[in-house]
Structure 1
Amino acid sequence: MGLYADAKSIAERDPAAKGVWQVILLYPGFHVLISHRLANWFYRRRLFFIARMISQIARFFTAIEIHPGAKIGQKLFIDHGAGVVIGETAEVGDHCTIYHNVTLGGTGTEKGKRHPTLGDNVLIGAGAKILGPFRIGDNVTIGANAVVLGEVPDGATVVGVPGRIARLQDAAVRRSVELDHVNVPDPLEQELCVLFSRISILERSLGIQSEQQAVTKRIHPESKFDRENLFEKNPETTEEPES
């Protein structure tokens, strides 16, 4: 484990990386991990001024702000990194991926736990905000620009403002989608599709021809357009009513 393992993990996960040494020498997301390990060492020994000074120097050179009190797991990949903020009582699990402009922020002015806790294998898309002292489960994907204000279960995908759970899965986030964090499902779109499907089934069961179908048939009388075919039919309601 250790810093070399962190660098090797970044090289394996970033298709732009040409090797471990390139990560060690040129990646600000790795440089900030080095400085944070050192700053956290001083912080745990209550040498707060030295710890904060190290973190501020790292912020100046990397544009990434990690409070020295934050607990960071192994193999964290901060991609690009500019604008990332991780608060004092935040905790980040192992093998997480964080993109630029992400905030792990706190709420309130109390001195205790006020920042989020991330499980293992969490992916946070660019611009996402996670605010408050709650847990983000293992294998969670947070979509770009999402604002998460509450606990998220294991295996969930969260999108939107405020964040809504779009789907649940048991498997870890695949490497193939780690860099594709904007193509996540929209829960509102999913709900609308379900609603349109139910309306289509109801119209068919009542023998009602929709306005869209009527217009289509007037313009293209030979068209076989059927909106119901866009959705999965219910076998109990697909029969035409008797006249």
Structure 2
Amino acid sequence: MASKKIGLLELISEDFKTQREGLLSQGFWALFVYRLSHPRMKCRIPVVRQLWGLANLLMLKFIEVTCGISLPEAATVGRRLQIEHFGSIIIHGAAVIGDDCLIRHCVTLGNKSSDRPMEAPRLGNNVNIGAGAKIIGNVLIGDFASIGANAVVTKDVPARSIAVGVPAKIIR
């Protein structure tokens, strides 16, 4: 799941090329704001971190309202994430998304319980998530797995498997 380290401009360029609609893609704008916001997590200068945090908050809320995509700066997003359609996409701040994943509209990557608020899904590389899917809790979705439309995933999905249904069942 680890990505090779590349520069911010190269990441943004990859994000732009990955989205089919180019500058008109709400997915690109959500990723653009995320890419500008995420480095703040490593900033050690308190006043810079606070001012950067305020700017991030305003930008992230603007993206939520205009694009319907909640992608917090604390989440870990790999390279070339493709957001196929915009709207009602909620990603938990502790979620991890690998490289070359595809997320469609109305997808939730979230926690399962208020008792364990920081447990969130981890997606491997090349994961394909269908429209309306909900992946909740501390689950691992293996590389090259597919999650069917409207599936509700609460358990790990092995690599190269398909999960469909409510609750999701694994098809190898």
**Alignment TM-score, normalising by the size of structure 1:** 0.60
Q: Which residue of 2 aligns with 1:164?
A: 169
- Paired AA for residue 6 in structure 1: D
**Residue correspondence of structure 1 range 53-132 to structure 2 within 5 A:** 53-109=58-114, 113-132=118-137
Which sections of structure 1, spanning at least 5 residues, go unmatched? 12-16, 18-22, 168-243
1:30 to 17, 28, 36: 28
- Report the Cα distance in structure 1 between the residues aligned to 2:148 and 2:83, rounded to whole angstroms: 15
Q: Which residue of 1 aligns with 2:40?
A: 42
- Paired AA for residue 157 in structure 2: V
1:5 to 14, 17, 23: 14
Deviations 1:153-207 (A, max 9, x none): 111100000000122xxxxxxxxxxxxxxxxxxxxxxxxxxxxxxxxxxxxxxxx
Which sections of structure 2, spanning at least 5 residues, go unmatched? 1-9, 44-48
Which one is further off, 137-146 or 104-113?
104-113
Q: Secondary structure at the match of 1:2?
A: helix
Which one is further off, 90-99 or 49-58?
49-58
Over 3 Å counting, the alpha-carbon distance change for 1:51 and 1:110 in structure 2 is farther
- Report the Cα distance in structure 2 between the residues aligned to 1:108 and 1:52, rounded to whole angstroms: 25
Q: CA deviation at 1:5?
A: 1.5
- Paired AA for residue 33 in structure 2: S
Over 3 Å counting, the alpha-carbon distance change for 1:40 and 1:102 in structure 2 is same
- Paired AA for residue 92 in structure 1: I
**Residue correspondence of structure 1 range 225-240 to structure 2 within 5 A:** none
- Report the Cα distance in structure 1 between the residues aligned to 2:113 and 2:42, rounded to whole angstroms: 24
Over 3 Å counting, the alpha-carbon distance change for 1:62 and 1:44 in structure 2 is farther
- Report the Cα distance in structure 1 between the residues aligned to 2:166 and 2:155, rounded to whole angstroms: 12
Tell me if the contact between 2:12 and 2:35 (Cα under 8 Å) persists in the aligned partners: no
Q: Secondary structure at the match of 1:6?
A: helix
- Larger relative contact order (CA 8 Å, sep ≥ 6): 2
Q: CA deviation at 1:59?
A: 0.9
Q: CA deviation at 1:56?
A: 0.9
- Paired AA for residue 42 in structure 1: R
Q: CA deviation at 1:9?
A: 2.5
Bigger fraction of residues in helix: 1
Q: Secondary structure at the match of 1:126?
A: coil
- Report the Cα distance in structure 1 between the residues aligned to 2:30 and 2:147, rounded to whole angstroms: 22
Q: CA deviation at 1:62?
A: 1.0
- Report the Cα distance in structure 1 between the residues aligned to 2:121 and 2:99, rounded to whole angstroms: 15
Structure exhibiting the larger radius of gyration computed from Cα positions? 1
Q: Which residue of 1 aligns with 2:4?
A: none
Percent identity for Structure 1 against Structure 2:
37
**Alignment TM-score, normalising by the size of structure 2:** 0.84
Q: CA deviation at 1:111?
A: 6.7
